[in-house]
Amino acid sequence: MTISGRVPLLLLLGVVPVVLRPSTGTVWLWVLAVALLVGVDLLLAPAPSTLQVERPEVGAVRLGHPTETRLVVTSSGSRRARGVLRDAWQPTAGASGNRHRLALGAGDRVVLRTPLLPRRRGDLRATGVTVRLRGPLGLAARQRTRDVPGAVRSLPPFDSRKHLPSRLARLRELDGRAAVRVRGQGTEFDSLREYVRGDDVRSIDWRASARSRTVVVRTWQPERDRRVVLVLDTSRTSAGRVGDVPRLDSAMDAALLLAALAARAGDRVDLVAGDRRVRARLRAAGARDVAAHLQEVMADLQPVIAEADWSTLAGAVTALGRQRALVVLLTPLEPAAVEEGLLPVLPSLTRHHRVVLASVRDPALEELASSHATLDEVYDAAAAAQAIGRRAYTAGLLRALGVDVVDADADQLPPALADHYLALKARGLL
């Protein structure tokens, strides 16, 4: 049970009879009268069990996007139920306005809506529904907390989706859907057509021309049905924040844009995510909704405070198939972690695949390196310049091993990685 603020006020009102008749008996008599009123009000209050509470499924929503959860409350009692209902969620679900006033007659039903604004990826769950029904005098109330299961699945936001239309337009030009296919736009044979002035004579198919009365040339298109393997690093280095966003979330955004673009290009997209061990593995093939599948898998991934075991991750890539693929390593370009863990494993990957390392760059380093106003800023600039130099040296080592390095700010990494993919496709290097 609970008591309202009216009870202390009612007790305070007892000062009047005590002043009129000052005695200990008057005090106890007033306290007894108030306790009797509270007891009667509690007995007349409806039981919370007379309310039936149901929660429809909430579903999934992208991180940072608003949604709502609903509670269907039905009164099965014979008395009017007045009170408050609180729909409690874990803090990262961002529940607001979750206290609802109730005024239900016998058999009435009401739908209560609670806005949610997820602030963390994964499954965010309801922690309980508390019902407090007060008596007719408003002095006491019956209260009960019950478990009404509910969860909202918070997916990666995919903010880089805005870059997809422009990259798809470039892909259509590359594929020849918006331009005539000519030699040099790909290495995969497409079809035969009649020779026109200006065609490259090296594209003439002499055997086909011998069987025809005209000269016939071959047309080419960018390679299709290639494999793109996304390797997402969830080790300790991915927990670092650039601005207010973890590196892991920025890497996910770049992976989603590349996966959506590669699927539209007809390529097969696979995902491997892990640190000391493989945390997630997905073979999405060439599905057009590959981004949706990846969002579902990525929703549960969180940084692990441990070093990445790149031999394990490389083994997972090899287990997906021996066919040549574009392997995209989404990992921070941290010199110590890369030189000690990744470099020894790279030869086994570059021997069979085209490897690209995509890293989120911290613009704060450039800002520190350019500030020399005070003595402290000079020391900070020297440390920042040394860190930038080490990153550049590590990037040089990677390029010497045949690895393409895409190092960009968090908001520029997704389009930069997509542009690099299109450039490789245009040059026939996949």
- Which of 294 and 323 is assigned the larger pLDDT? 294
Check pLDDT > 60 for residue 172: yes
Handedness of CA 164, 168, 174, 179 (dihedral sign): negative
Q: What are the pLDDT digits (tens) for 337-356?
A: 998 999 999 999 999 899 99
Which residues make beta-bridge pairs with 191? 219
- Measured CA to CA in angstroms, residue 122 lies from 71, 83, 96 at distances of 22, 33, 19
Confidence of residue 206 (pLDDT cuts 50, 70, 90): confident
Check pLDDT > 70 for residue 95: yes
Provide DSSP, 101-136. Answer: EEEE-TT-EEEEEEEE---SSEEEEEEEEEEEEE-T
- How many whole angstroms separate alpha carbon 26 and alpha carbon 73? 45
Which residues in 247-391 belong to E strands, given as ranges? Answer: 268-274, 278-285, 325-330, 354-360
Confidence of residue 183 (pLDDT cuts 50, 70, 90): very low
- Displacement of CA 425 from its chain's centroid (Å): 28
Check pLDDT > 90 for residue 145: yes
Check pLDDT > 70 for residue 27: yes
Check pLDDT > 60 for residue 381: yes
Q: Are 102 and 2 in contact (CB under 8 A)?
A: no
**What is the share, in percent, of the chain residues with pLDDT greater than 90?**
53
> Please, is 328 exposed, middle or buried when counting C-beta atoms within 10 Å of its C-beta (0-12, 13-18, 19+)?
buried
| Range in 29-43, 167-181, 251-265, 398-412 with the lowest mean pLDDT | 167-181
Q: What are the pLDDT digits (tens) for 402-426?
A: 999 999 999 999 999 999 999 998 8
Check pLDDT > 60 for residue 103: yes
Q: Which two tokens stand for residue 280?
A: 């997630």
Check pLDDT > 60 for residue 178: no
In this prediction, residue 279 carries a pLDDT of 94
- Which of 80 and 220 is assigned the larger pLDDT? 80
- How many whole angstroms separate alpha carbon 416 and alpha carbon 198? 34
Q: Which residue has the tokens 């997402």?
A: 232
- Displacement of CA 261 from its chain's centroid (Å): 18
| Encoded amino acid at 317, one letter | V
In this prediction, residue 190 carries a pLDDT of 61
